Structure 1
């Protein structure tokens, strides 16, 4: 279930599909028109251990350094581990991080029934006027994980080289449909027998021109490029 931070206001009634806040446009032309009052909402999904939280930790100071007013909603199965990690990090005010407990099916609360996450986003917008960006981190799932466009305007799927260089060739919906595919933990490639250039080539081959960025979230490699994509595609800035 969704647990607001103690400093957050009571949950608002989430909008029904097609109602409520106007979604900001993203990579496609069929995602609505920008709202002057609503924060853009992006998703970051991917398998367990691919580095979703590490990527968010790396992105927060980069985006804040560019003047972006942001907040985060995490999703875990039955804990608030990722939210507490971010709150302790010192990278963002604890009140700007909310947690949703997704239960046994993490994809349900970001795709089939995202109302808990939508309500968390609404709470953050009410608590922080002028909020520009809300990042929704999914619970660790499999290659079939995708985000509902009722929840987010644009989304990233994170895989890592330790999961195997055959992941792009398996063509899961996350790999194929995400607006940006991030191949993380590039530094591990020589240690796990992965041919990184071939993995990136395969990823680009199945993505039909959609972006692929290689990152090492721990060192910061590639993180500026991810922030650039968010700025251009979601925030409409450079």
Structure 2
């Protein structure tokens, strides 16, 4: 049985790495054997952050350097990420889940179905409540939309309830979940959704 491969995309600063950090402890508590692949342009910065977090064996965090537009290695030619995922499965037989974090990108980021079984897109309220209305492919096509930093809404003049409603409308009712990675709020709901959709089916 192969590990489920879940993509996590979103703009720079939306909280993709923070979401993974918040998820790792909960996944471990639930006995879900996990590894991570990060994508950056020319550094391993996100991978190093996750390795330093202490929430996962550092060798279970692998880094891919895109060297170009982040779309390239998750959509147009995902072979580098596919090879990294295959190596993780060889190194850690019995893996349940591989999280693949894209490099920071705009709302057009999508994942190749050859690379992932499921993908989520992360936006944050600090980016403005008009983000869902822009209807980028990441907003509309992702399996799950995560609206992060919900706690910042009062400080940036955002009506988070309206933002969530508009996002659900744009996505024709497809799942939208709010999170606050700093406190862990909403993380259990994200993991429950993954369990239902791609894990232990």
Normalized against structure 2, the TM-score is what?
0.99
Distance in 1 of aligned mates of 2:108 and 2:50: 26
2:182 corresponds in structure 1 to 218
Q: CA RMSD in A?
A: 0.7
Distance in 2 of aligned mates of 1:52 and 1:58: 10
Distance in 1 of aligned mates of 2:120 and 2:197: 12
1:51 corresponds in structure 2 to 15
1:72 corresponds in structure 2 to 36
2:57 corresponds in structure 1 to 93
The 5 A counterparts of 1:94-113 are: 94-113=58-77
SS of the residue corresponding to residue 79 of structure 1 reads: coil
Distance in 2 of aligned mates of 1:236 and 1:170: 35
- Of 188, 191, 194, which residue of structure 2 is paired with 1:227? 191
- Of 126, 140, 143, which residue of structure 2 is paired with 1:179? 143
Q: CA deviation at 1:104?
A: 2.5
Distance in 2 of aligned mates of 1:96 and 1:133: 11
Normalized against structure 1, the TM-score is what?
0.83
1:150 corresponds in structure 2 to 114
**Residue correspondences, number:** 201
Q: CA deviation at 1:147?
A: 0.3
CA deviation profile, 1:143-199 (whole Å, cap 9, x unmatched): 000000000000000000011100000100000000000000011111111111110
More off after superposition, 103-112 vs 43-52: 103-112
Q: CA deviation at 1:209?
A: 1.8
1:130 equivalent to 2:94? Answer yes
1:165 corresponds in structure 2 to 129
1:209 equivalent to 2:167? Answer no
The runs of 5 or more residues in structure 1 that have no matched partner are: 1-36
Distance in 2 of aligned mates of 1:170 and 1:192: 19
Distance in 2 of aligned mates of 1:42 and 1:164: 26
Distance in 1 of aligned mates of 2:161 and 2:110: 26
Q: CA deviation at 1:103?
A: 1.4
CA deviation profile, 1:104-135 (whole Å, cap 9, x unmatched): 20011000000000000001000001111100
Distance in 1 of aligned mates of 2:193 and 2:115: 19
Q: CA deviation at 1:236?
A: 3.2
